Amino acid sequence: MTHHYTPELATTLKQRRQTLGDRLTTPVLLWSGSAPARNFPANHHPFRASSHFLYFAGVPLQDAVIYLHQGQLTLFMEDATPADALWHGSSPTRSAIADRLGAAAHYPLAELRQVAQGAATIPVQNAATRQQQMQVLGRPLGEANALQGQDLALAEALVALKLVQDDGAIAALQKAANVTVKAHLAGMAQTRHAKTEAEVRAAMEMVIMASQMEPAYQSIVTTHGEVLHSQTYHHSLNPGDLLLVDVGAEHPLGWAADVTRTWPVSGQWSDSQRAIYEVVLAAHDACIARIQPGIEYRDIHLTAAKTITEGLVALGILKGDVATLMERSAHALFFPHGIGHLLGLDVHDMEDLGDLAGYAPGRKRSHDYGMQYLRLNRPLQTGMTVTIEPGFYQVPAILENSKNRDTFADCINWERLADFKDVRGIRIEDDVLVTETGCRVLTSALPTQADEVLQCLKS
Amino acid sequence: MTHHYTPELATTLKQRRQTLGDRLTTPVLLWSGSAPARNFPANHHPFRASSHFLYFAGVPLQDAVIYLHQGQLTLFMEDATPADALWHGSSPTRSAIADRLGAAAHYPLAELRQVAQGAATIPVQNAATRQQQMQVLGRPLGEANALQGQDLALAEALVALKLVQDDGAIAALQKAANVTVKAHLAGMAQTRHAKTEAEVRAAMEMVIMASQMEPAYQSIVTTHGEVLHSQTYHHSLNPGDLLLVDVGAEHPLGWAADVTRTWPVSGQWSDSQRAIYEVVLAAHDACIARIQPGIEYRDIHLTAAKTITEGLVALGILKGDVATLMERSAHALFFPHGIGHLLGLDVHDMEDLGDLAGYAPGRKRSHDYGMQYLRLNRPLQTGMTVTIEPGFYQVPAILENSKNRDTFADCINWERLADFKDVRGIRIEDDVLVTETGCRVLTSALPTQADEVLQCLKS
């Protein structure tokens, strides 16, 4: 992966380390992790380096550790063995990697204990590496979402840094967004030739792989849009179906895109599908129009909730006064998740830290019906990247729940709702960079208008 | 995944459980495992159930445990929660799954302790599940390749069962082989349109995904065939390059294919490339011609070594008497790995158990230069499935090694070898079922002849 080191990347990394050093006097040790075994030790899942490591080291070096102190980086890793050279080819020496990485010094892993005393860390996801972290530091490590002491202070410093994307990050996020747009266009074009969800997924991930990226998360490509995290692809495509497609590419250095479109398999919207699509699109557009530094992301969420409530009242699905319906969270019957989340090196950026990144200090996740899945609750700042992803779903687990049916008996016109039974789920999701004057939609090259989507299906 | 349960599968599974019960009186607990986290807990790698679980349960049920005793299966897993229904859709109840699985009874996981006493198990790869195994059994578990006591007895019984494929297994292996053939043909057809290795890989994995399968292992698609386990795809394709492509599909229920072809990017072999290709192909054909029940797999390996040695002597690359060269393992300078391995639910079947499956009782892995990477050393039996994969490589770590250059100074004509410098690596690999009268090549639909391969590149 060392062919990714460029002078620009080196400059970006140096700046990030300096900023961390300015914020935190404690020394820091970050592990990259290792690839977990799949069905046997030599057949492992693809390696994904820890995002906190990647932020400062730039490149996914496997089984490596960086020591950060006062703006300097020290690299700890093993040199490749002769057996490595046989099976994996020749690789640059640790010294050469350290050089390209701008490291002040470099040592084998056995030397880690020399710098472990008092160092802060973030536990990685890989269990084997986490054992190594505990051994080196000589103390137990819990989950990354429940840190204490110097580790919590490090996490808070990381959140402060990583909430605002620098130019290097924005360039990588834009590249992931561009490939994702291409993948969605390929999926749209493939739909009329495809017999199954799997064939559309395959056409889209082909674009991502051919672009030397990987999916940033398990693709959702489903005629059952009401299943929010559907990860099966075996359903056949039938003319009346909507296909909900949530697919994003990940840049080789880790930066994610996260995009959803929903389109009709037949190439034509039914009247009911188009009507709901327009409601979701109105919410999407209203949210994006409001984005600017200083606005509360929670208010963006409420903008979506309001637009959806108004739309469903206008269609006769919801009954009553918009303000009252919203107060009762009636919109959450059809829009049960939050309007989006932070986007960065992780598709839900820094979610390994729990709500530390998503929620401003002092704020806690609400248990309210309409707010429990809001992943981001902060005022927006210039340089933040977030998703905007309103949706409408008919989830049996919600709509057939007897408590919900009692509570909301006076809000829903069930007979009218039956007219929309060919709308299982619709979501429209884009990736947005907050700018000084408003925002820039990184994925704006992918159409959202109902008729433009149909054009893409024909191409 | 429960849509995969068919009456045929139920019959196959019942038979497997009965055979285990006949071999082993000890009760057995097998865990399916869980999906390891990628960069944060909710973003995990795709779930892959433990192969030993799959063999008896058929379908990859996540976080499930089966208890096998006297031919009966008892299923332990949780019913889906309301939150599961929201995010993952409605799923069959444990009772319905148990019914389709032919389980004698079913309980929640908390009841596992009731049957844990004295039960044998195989440690799974996933670290979190392995913790659960130890808690339930109340004893430490080491690695699956160093088992003792009742666990070793279970592993030996599993090896005895799984070495010979039943009709259900053969049908699934053939389906994986068929999709793999399609993927290779797509890769060949894509090559003349492709600028990078990544584009060929993408076209191949697209076929696998569109067929509702997954890659059985990380695809190798490389112009650097001398890197045996190359897993990068960023090199550009240039007219003089050979592309070495080792890609296999995995059936949704876990059965693997493992196929390699090597072809010229330009659509034409150079004379040197064709000459070496013919040597490797001769080895491939000679090995397959010798396969029959009772023959030692080690002798198949030696057949490949001999054919390659003869070929390289004929080309003037190796010097001297074939028998002497083989005795000195001179062939291993260019063919450093074994002729193949077991194939089954794992692409290296049962390799989690170390050499327990690959090596007949009493045999140990040799440290000899030419034999150290031989993964299978048993007499072949009707119903075994193995790969045959001879190769020729110019690995710098081997050929530039000063000890090797001294040891083999009199064996190699370096000047002549320089004529073949456009041959970095060639491998030809097929999947073979041992039959009563010889063998059936599961992947025979994919051409191996040098000219036939060129035809596929044009199609």
- DSSP-based three-state secondary structure for A80: coil
B45 and A CB contact within 8 Å:
yes
Query: From B347, which residue of chain A is nearest by alpha-carbon distance?
Result: A43
Q: Chain A partners of B207 at a C-beta cutoff of 8 Å?
A: 202
Distance CA A145, CA A152 (A): 9
pLDDT band for position A194 (50/70/90)? very high
Alpha helices, DSSP H, located in B24-126: 51-57, 82-88, 94-101, 113-116
Residue A363, pLDDT score: 95
Cβ–Cβ gap A36/B45 under 8 Å: yes
Report the residue from B43, B48, B206 with minimal CB separation from A39: B48
CATH of the domain at A138: 3.40.350.10
Distance CA B275, CA B450 (A): 10
Report the residue from A127, A211, A397 with minimal CB separation from B86: A397
Distance CA A104, CA A70 (A): 11
Q: State which amino acid sits at residue B99.
A: D
Contact A319, A313 (CB under 8 A): yes
Residue A234, pLDDT score: 95
B197 and A CB contact within 8 Å:
no
The Cα of A372 is separated from the nearest Cα of chain B by a number of Å equal to: 12
Distance CA B30, CA B27 (A): 10
Q: Are residues A425 and A365 in the same domain?
A: yes
Cβ–Cβ gap A40/B226 under 8 Å: no
- Residue whose C-alpha is closest to residue A319's, from A417, A396, A424: A417
Cβ–Cβ gap B89/A352 under 8 Å: no
Report the residue from A51, A212, A226 with minimal CB separation from B234: A212
Q: Chain A partners of B369 at a C-beta cutoff of 8 Å?
A: none
How far is the CA of B270 from the CAs of A312, B56, B222, B276, B309, in angstroms? Answer: 68, 50, 18, 10, 21
- Chain mean pLDDT for chain A: 96
Last residue of a domain, one of A162, A179, A201: A162
Distance CA A9, CA A101 (A): 9
Please compute the mean of the pLDDT values over residues A102-109 and round it to a whole number.
96
Q: Chain A partners of B228 at a C-beta cutoff of 8 Å?
A: 86-88
Q: State which amino acid sits at residue B134.
A: M
Q: Are residues B174 and B25 in the same domain?
A: no
pLDDT in tens, A409-443: 999 999 999 999 999 999 999 999 999 999 999 99
Q: Chain A partners of B40 at a C-beta cutoff of 8 Å?
A: 51, 125, 346, 348, 350-352
Residue A88, pLDDT score: 87
B402 and A CB contact within 8 Å:
no
Residue A4, pLDDT score: 82
Please compute the mean of the pLDDT values over residues A298-304 and round it to a whole number.
98
Q: Are residues A100 and A195 in the same domain?
A: no
How far is the CA of B441 from the CAs of B308, B342, B432, in angstroms? Answer: 21, 14, 4
Interface pTM, i.e. ipTM: 0.95
Interface test with A, best of B2, B5, B38, B223 (most A CBs within 10 A): B38
Distance CA A190, CA A199 (A): 8
Distance CA B309, CA B335 (A): 10
Domain that residue B10 falls in? 2-162
* Both structure tokens of B268: 């034409």
A345 and B CB contact within 8 Å:
yes
- DSSP-based three-state secondary structure for B425: strand
Last residue of a domain, one of A130, A162, A194: A162
Query: From A254, which residue of chain B is nearest by alpha-carbon distance?
Result: B39
- DSSP-based three-state secondary structure for B29: strand
B226 and A CB contact within 8 Å:
yes
Q: Chain A partners of B196 at a C-beta cutoff of 8 Å?
A: 210, 212
Query: How many domains are there within chain A?
Result: 2
Q: Give B70-94 as a DSSP string.
A: TTEEEEE-PPPPHHHHHHH-----H
Q: How many residues comprise chain B?
A: 459
Cβ–Cβ gap A212/B205 under 8 Å: no
Cβ–Cβ gap B125/A230 under 8 Å: no
- Laid out side by side, the sheet with B385-388 consists of B385-388, B430-435, B438-441
Cβ–Cβ gap B43/A346 under 8 Å: yes
Say how far residue B60 (Cα) sits from the centre of its chain: 18
Q: Are residues B112 and B236 in the same domain?
A: no
Q: Are residues B118 and B199 in the same domain?
A: no
A48 and B CB contact within 8 Å:
yes
Distance CA B12, CA B162 (A): 13
Report the residue from B89, B231, B232 with minimal CB separation from A230: B89
Q: Chain A partners of B44 at a C-beta cutoff of 8 Å?
A: 218
Report the residue from A37, A46, A205 with minimal CB separation from B218: A46
Q: Are residues B175 and B148 in the same domain?
A: no
- DSSP-based three-state secondary structure for A433: strand
Distance CA B59, CA B168 (A): 13
Q: Are residues A370 and A443 in the same domain?
A: yes
Q: Which of residues 238-257 of B touch A (CB under 8 A)?
A: 254
Cβ–Cβ gap B39/A46 under 8 Å: no
Distance CA A264, CA B314 (A): 63
CATH of the domain at B291: 3.90.230.10
Contact B66, B30 (CB under 8 A): yes
Q: CB-based burial of residue B138 (10 Å sphere; 0-12 exposed, 13-18 middle, 19+ buried)?
A: exposed
Distance CA A452, CA A188 (A): 11
Report the residue from A82, A126, A128 with minimal CB separation from B397: A82
- DSSP-based three-state secondary structure for B199: helix
Q: State which amino acid sits at residue B120.
A: A
Q: Are residues A38 and A56 in the same domain?
A: yes
Report the residue from A38, A233, A350 with minimal CB separation from B212: A233
Residue at token pair 């495992």: B33
- Residue whose C-alpha is closest to residue A63's, from A99, A97, A39: A97
Contact A442, A257 (CB under 8 A): yes
The torsion angles phi and psi of A283, rounded to 5 degrees, stand at -65, -45
Last residue of a domain, one of A162, A180, A215: A162
Q: Are residues B220 and B238 in the same domain?
A: yes
Contact A297, A378 (CB under 8 A): yes
The Cα of B436 is separated from the nearest Cα of chain A by a number of Å equal to: 30
Cβ–Cβ gap B206/A202 under 8 Å: yes
Cβ–Cβ gap B40/A201 under 8 Å: no
Cβ–Cβ gap B36/A209 under 8 Å: no
Residue B1, pLDDT score: 65
pLDDT in tens, B78-98: 998 877 888 888 889 999 999
Residue A118, sorted as left (phi over 0), alpha (psi -120 to 50) or beta, turns out to be left
B86 and A CB contact within 8 Å:
yes
Query: From B210, which residue of chain A is nearest by alpha-carbon distance?
Result: A199
Residue at token pair 């038979």: B15
Q: Chain B partners of A202 at a C-beta cutoff of 8 Å?
A: 205-210
Q: Are residues A274 and A242 in the same domain?
A: yes
Q: Chain B partners of A198 at a C-beta cutoff of 8 Å?
A: 209-212
pLDDT in tens, A17-73: 999 999 999 999 999 999 999 999 999 999 999 999 999 999 999 999 999 999 999
Describe the crossing of helices A149-162 and A7-23 by its angle, rounded to 10 degrees. Answer: 130
Residue A99, pLDDT score: 93
Distance CA B335, CA B226 (A): 10
Contact A122, A154 (CB under 8 A): yes
- DSSP-based three-state secondary structure for B119: coil
B233 and A CB contact within 8 Å:
yes
DSSP 8-state secondary structure symbol assigned to residue A223: S
- DSSP-based three-state secondary structure for B317: coil
| Long-range residue pairs from A153-158, CB within 8 A, at least 24 positions apart, any chain | A153/A24, A153/A26, A153/A120, A154/A24, A154/A26, A154/A28, A154/A120, A154/A121, A154/A122, A155/A122, A155/A353, A155/A356, A156/A356, A157/A20, A157/A23, A157/A24, A158/A20, A158/A52, A158/A55, A158/A122, A158/A350, A158/A353
Distance CA A236, CA B43 (A): 26
Cβ–Cβ gap A199/B218 under 8 Å: no
Residues of chain B short of pLDDT 70, as ranges, are: 1-2
Please compute the mean of the pLDDT values over residues A310-339 and round it to a whole number.
96
Q: Are residues A104 and A193 in the same domain?
A: no
Type and span of the H or E element at A94: helix A94-101
* Cβ pairs A/B, distance under 8 A: 179
**For residue A153, pLDDT beyond 70:** yes
* Both structure tokens of B69: 């005793």
Q: What is the pTM of this model?
A: 0.96
Cβ–Cβ gap A39/B352 under 8 Å: yes
Q: Chain B partners of A39 at a C-beta cutoff of 8 Å?
A: 48, 50-51, 125, 254, 345-346, 352
Q: Chain B partners of A36 at a C-beta cutoff of 8 Å?
A: 36, 45, 125-127
Interface test with B, best of A40, A182, A250, A251 (most B CBs within 10 A): A40
**For residue A82, pLDDT beyond 90:** no
Distance CA B339, CA B373 (A): 9
Contacts of A237 (CB under 8 A, 6+ apart): A191, A194, A195, A196, A197, A200, A223, A243, A265
Q: Are residues B137 and B191 in the same domain?
A: no
Distance CA B438, CA B459 (A): 33
Would you say the C-alpha torsion B144, B149, B151, B156 has a positive or negative sign? positive
